[in-house]
Amino acid sequence: MNKNRVNPETWYVIINPVGGNGSVQKRWPVIRSMLQDRGVLLEEVFTRHKMHAVELVETALVHGFRRMLAVGGDGTNNEVINGIMLQQVVPTNEILYALLPIGTGNDWIRTHGISRNPETWVNMLLEGYSDLQDIGQV
């Protein structure tokens, strides 16, 4: 992770390398290039074990990141959202979260109208597409 001051426009990208039965390894580099070609700043990190994304979220927030991008499926999405909700570094309304759906089920993205098409997804991200999600916290 870059130890210098974080650019607030930088997306902290949490990548599940085994997401989508390993298809993340092929699809993410293509989408990363599409994002970088359009000037999107990225800081990448790969999960190494179950629940690692939860830990990575807090680490990112401590270092000043406020934009989180999960690359994976429903499991990765669940871990990152749990990380956002469990952390006590910053208020959750200061965090911008996006999911690049490269999973096998992708139930969550269907509910929220998030495209699986790479070009459409990149455009949605850059245009600021958002959908308010009730966490259902008890």
Query: pLDDT at position 138, please?
Result: 60
Dump pLDDT digits (tens) for 42-101: 999 999 999 999 999 999 999 999 999 999 988 999 999 999 999 999 999 999 999 998
Query: pLDDT at position 5, please?
Result: 73
Contact predicate 8/95, CB 8 Å: no
Residue 124: pLDDT band by 50, 70, 90 thresholds?
A: confident
Secondary structure percentages of the chain, helix, strand, coil, to 5 = 45, 15, 40
Higher pLDDT, 102 or 64: 64
Give, in words, the CATH class of 11-126.
Answer: alpha beta
Record the tokens describing residue 132, joined without a space. Answer: 């308010």
**Residue ranges per domain, the chain?**
11-126
